[in-house]
Structure 1
Amino acid sequence: MMSEKKVVRYKLVRHKWPDEIEAEKKQRKRRIGIIALCVIFFFSGYGLNRFLSRSDVTNDKTFAKLSEVYTIMKNKFYFGKDKEDFNEQLINGAIKGMVDAGGDQHTMYLNNEQSENFTSSMEGSVVGIGVTMYALDDNTFIISDIIKDSPAEKAGLHAGDQIYAVDGKVLKNTSTEEVAKKVKGESGTKVKLEIIRSGKHIEKTITRKKVNGTVFSEIKGDTAKIELTTFAETSGDEFGRHLEDIKKAKVKHLIIDLRDNSGGYLKAALQIASYLMQDDQVIFKEDDHDGNITEYKTLNGYEHYTFDKLLILVNGGTASASEALTAALKEQAQAIVIGEKTYGKGTVQIPLPFKDGSMLKYTTGEWITPKGNKLNKVGITPDIKVAQEAAYVTGMPQLDKEEFAFDTVNEAASPVQIYLKFLGYAVDRTDAYFSYTSAKALTQYQKDHELKADGKIREEVCRSLVSDCLRKWRNDPYKYDLQLKKAMEIANEK
């Protein structure tokens, strides 16, 4: 979860964690699931003193030292008297220290708010407006996707719109979590957004509602495309319903888009694989702490769907459950993998909520493909490598000064010239040198968008360029999404 530019995807303005893209809110007691890995185990929280009083711990000198340090910090540390909830801070800090000492970025201790955000993201639905956002910086939030039939779509929001203000408050020096809280709310209530589109400020009042969906599909000719944004608890069933509709349309080929899908519940991956593989086939294996290898096979009672060509889109944001599913379909269902090398997260985590609302999410094992290949820190190399359109993957430039003109060497010049080229303006280069020709192109762009037309690069111009590029790319993905375009070409080959 995992991109060099600061990208946070929200399904209905929903948080995604950076270690597994991004990044996926509200833990519920779960039924005993299809397999043990999808069960959430609940444990009672123990105070540190009670923990340290256990016979198997007090005999250990190391834990005795920990207890002594805790007692000193709690009762004798000079600055402790001025700290609110200092006892809780000490315990949380000690737990975090133990977790961090493991050296595993996917094992983490989450406080109450982080725990709520994590578990809610896995639910598959949330009350909001139905958008996905890119956070370019603490002041700039760009809409990258609009969920079909969502309040955002009905209100006329577009991919590429910049959310400038929420309920009259301009978004400055804020976090993505704070933006999420502002946009979410109770179903039936209204939120007022001020957006910037092509340099113009537009106000939209949108009524919030519960929007379900982590799976989206569309049909183009003989080919259907299903996009999975995450593997939530509802994703497997959703995927099955989309397959039913696709079957009725009698399409020949299926494209599964797992790009920037950072994973989630392996239960959902098992369900989806069971629709596309045959009975009694191995989907993946688990190597646990004790070296035991457990095989997970296709589930009983699932209708099998077959296609002439099965294609999977992946990139560097494809991780965890997405990689497990991709590997299974590649090795067992002859799927063709297209795009860029995946992230390489082949471990499984179990979240353990405590009574106080905090949570420990820790790694319990490593996933192995049906043919015995490891995924962790390796990833999946696509069968057909296709780099994405440069304007789409180029992050917003960070200016080291307020503005600069042509005949200047500056790292910000390259992204600006790449954006201009994608938008159809006549630039003569895309490196860090800002040329006279490119400055002329920028001047024309500024005129076309009612910006100060002086050919100089500044933050306002950069934001407008990013927004316009994203809008153009999203509005015609079959033309500008180079990976999707390649998949369609392969599907249409005789």
Structure 2
Amino acid sequence: MEENNTRKIKVEKHVWPDERQAQRNKRRKNVLMVVLCILFFLGGYLFNGATSATPMINNRDGALESESQKFNEIYEIMQTEWYFGKDQKDITEYLLDQSIFGLANYNESDPHTQYLSAEEAKSLMTSLSGSLTGIGIQYYKQNDSILVDKVYKDSPAEKGGLIQGDIITKVDGVDITGMDIDKIKEMILGEEGTKVRVEIKRGSDVKTIEMTRATISITAYGYVKDGVGILELSSFSDNTADEVAAYAKAFKEQGVKNIVLDLRNNGGGYVQTALDIAGIFMGPGKTVIYQENKKGDLTAYESNKVAETYEFDNYAILMNANTASASELLAAAFKEHLHASLVGTKSYGKGTVQQSVDFKDGSIFKFTVAQWLTPTKEKINKVGLEPDVESKLPTALTFTPSSDDKTYKVDEVGAGIKDAQIYLAFLGYDVDRQDGYFSSKTASALEQFEKDNKLAENQTIDEAILSALNSACARKWHDEKDTLDSQLLKAIEVVNK
């Protein structure tokens, strides 16, 4: 791309009243055009009025048939005779949604152009908000105890004095020992401004802490390990940059010199947030991404000016196959401007830009309008970023388990058996193979696992035992993460060189 085709623009611009009105009018026109397109599409299919203008094709028998007539007949059958139609609250709305899904959601060349129903759109916006109302902790169940795993910065929990490792024993005076974890979650969460009392055990000490629930951001979590500031980002939401700035400031106050930015399983989010985070570490005016439109014109987006910039000596970015979109672009920018090392495995490769149209019923149509490029003008879509230092976790932590619901006995072969062998190997049991053949060695390892976990010994592999193995692996990962997370250990090694 020639340099004269590149335009640099400021990301934020003051909008005058007449410009704002023009933008509103333009948005109304865009929405109207999309609505009309859908109405014309559905109108041609769902009603009989426009058959003369409808394309005609040959069916398998060679007879001419109106596509709208065919669709209309299928629609009538689905609405009146389809057995599972009885399970739909509004069969008409369901069929219309499915029609639009078929038009927008099954494009192999562009899986990111999508129609989202009102429920799906609400779920998406909730995930992008990155916040919830509670006290700001992450916890897990170990046997019958609830252990605090993370305390988020500036949360009611941090202000109240909760720390990692505390055991929660009561909530509002109710003993939660052995209680279902979802029930405990309901008790801890609540409306903003309401009080909650949590009794915790710390060593031999027992204390009760009263906190006021608040809306808190939970997309960033930071801590110091081996003198290195570790910053985990789960997504780029509305308040993520503020969270990052708070942790960066804390790292500086603790004398931290090097940073590991953990973007594993970060699927992206708001690009503006990525530009803010870039500004926190590299200052304003650095090209973070380029946007290429249909004509091939490039627009540069630069790191934003933020309240304060924090500089560190060395950086590493942790990434994996689920590091996607804005997180990939930020990783590339850190590599270009801060000489960060990319550690882990190849990233996902999502480099397209979507624009959305909101409809009155709450549904959304989002469609691709451009591609993102890295600061060196490399396209990442369907390509991804290669790590500078490759590091892999054990297979049990990264593979996608099968959906096998069969029951297997010794000397049989199946996907569920392979899953069990992978789990058993990670848990330290002696298995001779991981190819899905139920060998006698696999049976011995399974029997020992059942004994160790006080499970019924039935010499079969089924859904129940696979669930137990999966849970055991999750517990092992959580309890031994300090030594099992070889990717994080490698990243720390890289920045400390």
Normalized against structure 1, the TM-score is what? 0.71
Match of 2:151 in 1: 148
- Deviation, structure 1 residue 485: 1.7
- Corresponding residue for residue 311 of structure 2: 306
| CA distance 1:354–1:182, change in 2 (3 Å) | farther
2:418 aligned to which of 400, 414, 432:
414
Instruction: Select 2:477's aligned residue among 458, 473, 476.
Output: 473
Q: What is the deviation of 1:74?
A: 7.8
The offset of 1:211, in angstroms, is 4.1
Task: Give the distance between the partners of 2:418 and 2:103, measured in 1 at CA.
Answer: 43
The whole-number CA distance in structure 1 between the counterparts of 2:291 and 2:483 is 40
Q: Which residue of 2 aligns with 1:118?
A: 124
Q: Distance in 2 between matches of 1:76 and 1:467?
A: 45
Q: Tell me the equivalent position of 1:290.
A: 295
Q: Point out the more displaced range, 448-457 or 335-344.
A: 448-457
Residue identity in the other structure for 1:106: H
1 CA distance for matches of 2:179 and 2:401? 16
| Cα drift, residue 128 of structure 1 | 6.7
Matched, 1:34 2:40: no
Q: Are the structure 2 counterparts of residues 49 and 487 from structure 1 closer, same or farther at C-alpha, using a change threshold of 3 Å? A: closer
Instruction: Give the direction of change, closer, same or farther, for the CA distance of 1:233–1:400 in structure 2 (3 Å limit).
Output: closer
Contact 2:395 2:422 in 1 (8 A): yes
Q: Give the CA deviation at 1:409.
A: 3.6
Are residue 223 (structure 1) and residue 228 (structure 2) matched? yes
SS of residue in 1 equivalent to 2:151? coil
From 441, 446, 453, give the equivalent of 2:445: 441
| Structure-1 residue corresponding to 2:272 | 267
Does residue 243 of structure 2 align to residue 238 of structure 1?
Answer: yes
SS of the residue corresponding to residue 119 of structure 1 reads helix
- d(CA) in 1 for partners of 2:123, 2:341: 35
1:114 is aligned with what amino acid?
E
For the 8 Å contact 2:416–2:462, the answer to whether it is kept is no
Task: Give, as a single letter, the amino acid of the residue that structure 2 aligns with 1:426.
Answer: D
Report the Cα offset of residue 302 of structure 1: 4.6
Report the alpha carbon displacement of residue 433 of structure 1 after superposing the two structures with TM.
3.0
Are 2:348 and 1:370 aligned?
no
CA distance in 2, matches of 1:156, 1:229: 25
Residue equivalent to 1:424:
428
What is the CA-CA distance between 1:270 and the residue it aligns to?
0.3
Q: CA deviation at 1:124?
A: 1.8
* C-alpha distance after superposition, 1:38-75 (max 9, x if no partner): x998658656599659xxxxxxx999649x98799789
What residue identity is the alignment partner of 2:466?
A: C
Q: Which residue of 2 aligns with 1:25?
A: none
Contact 2:355/2:367, CA 8 A, preserved across alignment: yes
Deviation, structure 1 residue 429:
3.3
Q: Is the 8 A contact 1:70 1:90 kept in 2?
A: no
Q: 1:460 Cα shift?
A: 1.8
Separation in structure 2 between the aligned mates of residue 472 and residue 89 of structure 1, nearest angstrom:
43
Give me the whole-angstrom Cα distance separating, in 1, the residues matched to 2:466 and 2:79: 48
Separation in structure 2 between the aligned mates of residue 49 and residue 308 of structure 1, nearest angstrom:
54
From the superposition, tell whether residues 130 and 428 of structure 1 become closer, same or farther in structure 2 (CA, over 3 Å).
farther
Partner of 2:262 in structure 1?
A: 257
For 1:63 and 1:80, locate their aligned partners in 2 and report how far apart those are by CA, in whole Å.
24
- Judging changes above 3 Å, is the alpha-carbon distance between structure 1 residues 279 and 74 closer, same or farther for their aligned structure 2 residues? same
Residue matched to 2:335: 330
Q: Of Structure 1 and Structure 2, which has the larger fraction of its residues in helix?
A: 2
Distance 1:105 1:182 in 2: 39
Q: How big is each residue's C-alpha offset from its partner over 1:350-385, in whole Å with a ceiling of 9 and x where there is no partner?
A: 232122211111212111111111111110000011
2:417 and 2:180 map into 1 onto residues whose CA distance is: 25
Q: Alpha carbon RMSD of aligned pairs, Å?
A: 4.3
- The question of whether the paired residues in 2 share the 8 Å contact of 1:99 and 1:107 is answered with yes
Long gaps (5+) in structure 1: 1-31, 54-60, 134-142, 169-179, 191-206
Equivalent-residue separation in structure 2 for 1:464 and 1:76 (angstroms): 45
Q: CA deviation at 1:278?
A: 4.2
Does the CA-based 8 Å contact 1:226-1:257 persist in structure 2?
yes
Pair 1:412–1:224, CA change in 2 (3 A): same
By how many angstroms is 1:484 displaced?
0.9
- Contact 2:136–2:218, Cα closer than 8 Å, also in 1: no
- Among 452, 461, 465, the residue aligned to 1:461: 465
The answer (yes or no) to whether the contact 1:270–1:283 under 8 Å persists in 2 is yes
Q: Distance in 1 between matches of 2:494 and 2:70?
A: 67
CA contact (8 A) 1:123 1:232 kept: yes
* Range 425-434 or range 72-81, more displaced: 72-81
Task: In structure 1, give the amino acid aligned to 2:227.
Answer: D
> Could you report, residue by residue, the CA deviation over 1:1-53 in whole angstroms, capped at 9, with x for unpaired residues?
xxxxxxxxxxxxxxxxxxxxxxxxxxxxxxx98379xx998658656599659
Distance in 2 between the 1:341 and 1:419 partners?
24
Return the offset for 1:233: 1.2
Q: Distance in 2 between matches of 1:367 and 1:395?
A: 29
Distance in 2 of aligned mates of 1:440 and 1:278? 59
- Decide which moves more: 347-356 or 120-129: 120-129
Cα distance in 2 between the residues matched to 1:49 and 1:363: 17
* Rg (Cα) greater in structure: 2
Q: How many residues align?
A: 410
- Which of 214, 217, 220 is the equivalent residue of 1:212? 217
Q: Equivalent pairs: percent with the same residue? A: 34
Q: What is the aligned partner in structure 2 of residue 350 from structure 1?
A: 355
- Does the CA-based 8 Å contact 2:138-2:151 persist in structure 1? no
- Asked whether the 8 Å contact 2:276–2:305 carries over to 1, the reply is no
Amino acid at match of 1:431: D
Change (3 A) 1:118 1:33: farther
The match for 1:13 is: none
AA at the equivalent of 1:448 = D
Q: Does 1:321 align with 2:321?
A: no
Q: Which structure has the higher relative contact order (CA within 8 Å, separation 6+)?
A: 1
Query: Is 1:127–1:186's contact at 8 Å kept on the other side of the alignment?
Result: yes
Give distance in 1, aligned partners of 2:394 and 2:491: 15
Deviations 1:119-173 (CA, angstroms, capped at 9, x unpaired): 111112024797999xxxxxxxxx9x9653699987759xxxx9988569xxxxx
| Separation of aligned partners in 2, 1:325 and 1:129 | 30
Residues 1:91 and 1:438: Cα distance change in structure 2 (over 3 Å): closer
Looking at structure 2, the residues matched to 418 and 340 of structure 1 have their Cα atoms a distance apart, in angstroms, of: 20
Do 1:446 and 1:455's aligned partners in 2 also have CA atoms closer than 8 Å? no
